[in-house]
């Protein structure tokens, strides 16, 4: 897969625009755990060839909550927040797996967007997708109990990691869910008593995925 | 004020586009309490000449939380959610005051957006503004205690209604904050004991706005 096969509106660009973007993009290999964006530098758009990125927010006290994940083929728009004046919030982007990405410099993309309705409308759709994910999160936080959210998170992790033996600490789970470690530990122990998971140091083993899925609804 | 003075990118439209939109817009007087959008019909964009709209979400059990308010000169984009495929969530829009709005039919706007980079980029900025408000809300819900959120809400109401004697029930306040009526009542009584408010049937009177502002930070 090369850039033009991954960039959905390649065919809607003029040859000149295609040429401009081809020259500007930078291919990067990113190690797991790299901070890609923290609201300060305008990194540019990230088109993920393979890998996994996590977008999250951080409180003044250092608490976290995951907003959404970006996977193969996804485009990270908010790492180029400087291209839009009205984006008045700070998110953080970190790689959760070794990833291969193309970086589109913000000034190049901004110029494309200003001159091409196709690119501007595509950007709209990108933002609308992220907006939908964040709205889903608000509904989860507001109306769903933590046991259901924890169950849904473990089901998602099992799918993303392709294993039922998750190498993850209670603290990291708490950071995903915007909760406290103690609360997550208590809930995981309850799941263990119910025979749904088995807890060992640094590992959550899923024993009954079916029950976990039922619980998450 | 007429439409072209209120529509920020009027000058960036071609005469033909200006003509098209002029013919399509509908001027509407809306009574306080009118449901303008509930996710079913695609109403169109609403440009508010005067008035106040409220955007909120609703749980299956009928609980509510206010996402943001729209005031004079604001444009309501999500009442035209059909113009973007990737908007996968339902919000509700209701008028909180008698309002005067121009309705831009969704098909007309969509056509403009597809053919004009200026309109598409303006739509981007609109969405980014709403996104920023929703991100602010998430931060409030996640990291801020209810007493601070209640204080901030009462300060905002005092400013919007231009009075310190607010005609508002505890239930409506709870719906704004995504909380339960009992919780809001308890907190308001605490404020009353502290000499910040005075509660009478259907009214919250602000006695110490300064203290309320300090509390809201």
Does residue B50 sit at the A interface (CB-CB below 8 Å)? no
Residue A124 φ then ψ, to 5°: -55, -45
State the pLDDT at residue A154.
97
Q: How confident is the model at residue A39 (pLDDT cuts 50, 70, 90)?
A: confident
Q: Do A65 and B138 touch (CB under 8 A)?
A: yes
CB < 8 Å to A114, chain B: 117, 121
CB < 8 Å to A86, chain B: 125-126, 128-129, 132
Q: Do A128 and B63 touch (CB under 8 A)?
A: no
SS (H, E, C) chain B: CCHHHHCCCHHHCCHHHHHHHHHHCEEEEECCCCEEECCCCCCCEEEEEECCEEEEEECCCCCEEEEEEECCCCEECHHHHHHCCCCCCCCEEEECCCEEEEEECHHHHHHHHHHCHHHHHHHHHHHHHHHHHHHHHHHHHHHCCHHHHHHHHHHHHHHHHCCCEEECCHHHHHHHHCCCHHHHHHHHHHHHHCCCEEEECCEEEECCHHHHHHHHC
Q: Which of B127, B137, B175, B217 to mutate to test the interface with A (most CBs of A within 10 A)?
A: B127
Mean pLDDT of A16-24: 96
A8 CB-near residues (< 8 Å, 6+ apart) = A122
Q: Which of B92, B121, B145 to mutate to test the interface with A (most CBs of A within 10 A)?
A: B121
Does residue A115 sit at the B interface (CB-CB below 8 Å)? yes
CB A172 within 8 A of CB A157: no
> Which residue of A86, A115, A117 is in closest CB contact with B114?
A117
Does residue B128 sit at the A interface (CB-CB below 8 Å)? yes
Q: Do A128 and B178 touch (CB under 8 A)?
A: no
Does residue A61 sit at the B interface (CB-CB below 8 Å)? yes
CB < 8 Å to B139, chain A: 57, 59
State the pLDDT at residue A34.
96
Q: Is the pLDDT of residue A40 over 90?
A: no
> Residue B167's CB: how many other CB atoms inside 10 A?
11
Q: Do A143 and B113 touch (CB under 8 A)?
A: no
Pick the residue from chain B with its C-alpha nearest to A63. Answer: B143
Provide the shortest C-alpha distance from residue B198 to chain A (in Å): 29
State the pLDDT at residue B123.
96
Interface size A-B, in CB pairs within 8 Å, comes to 122
Q: Residue A191, Cα to own-chain centre: how many angstroms?
A: 26
Q: Which of B8, B17, B89 to mutate to test the interface with A (most CBs of A within 10 A)?
A: B89
Domains of chain B: 3-141 (2.60.120.10), 144-216 (1.10.10.10)
Mean pLDDT of chain A: 95
Tokens of B119: 């309109």
Does residue B217 sit at the A interface (CB-CB below 8 Å)? no
Instruction: Look up the ipTM and state it.
Output: 0.91
Helices vs strands, H then E, count in chain A: 8, 11
State the pLDDT at residue A70.
97
Tokens of A201: 């140091």
Q: pLDDT digit string (tens) for A111-160?
A: 999 999 999 999 999 999 999 999 999 999 999 999 999 999 999 999 99
> Which residue of B63, B123, B143 is in closest CB contact with A143?
B63
3-class SS of residue A93: strand
Please give the average pLDDT of every successive group of 10 residues along chain B, which has 217 residues: 91 96 97 93 94 95 94 95 90 97 96 95 96 95 94 96 96 95 95 96 96 94
Provide the shortest C-alpha distance from residue A125 to chain B (in Å): 6
Distance CA A9, CA A21 (A): 12
State the pLDDT at residue B88.
87
């Amino acid at each position: 897969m090369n850039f033009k096969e991954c960039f959905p509106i390649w065919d809607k660009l003029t040859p000149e625009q295609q040429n401009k973007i081809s020259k500007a993009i930078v291919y990067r290999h990113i190690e797991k755990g790299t901070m890609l964006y923290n609201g300060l530098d305008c990194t540019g758009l990230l088109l993920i060839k393979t890998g996994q990125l996590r977008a999250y927010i951080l409180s003044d006290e250092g608490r976290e909550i995951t907003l959404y994940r970006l996977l193969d083929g996804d485009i990270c728009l908010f790492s180029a927040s400087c291209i839009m004046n009205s984006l008045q919030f700070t998110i953080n982007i970190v790689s959760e797996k070794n990833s291969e990405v193309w970086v589109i410099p913000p000034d190049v993309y901004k110029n494309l967007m200003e001159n091409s309705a196709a690119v501007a409308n595509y950007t709209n759709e990108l933002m609308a997708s992220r907006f939908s994910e964040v709205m889903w999160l608000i509904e989860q936080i507001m109306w769903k109990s933590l046991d259901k959210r924890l169950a849904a998170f473990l089901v998602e992790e099992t799918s993303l990691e392709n294993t039922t033996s998750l190498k993850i600490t209670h603290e990291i789970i708490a950071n995903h869910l915007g909760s406290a470690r103690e609360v997550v530990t208590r809930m995981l122990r309850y799941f263990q008593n119910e025979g749904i998971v088995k807890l060992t140091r640094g590992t959550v083993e899923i024993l009954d995925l079916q029950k976990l899925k039922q619980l998450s609804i």
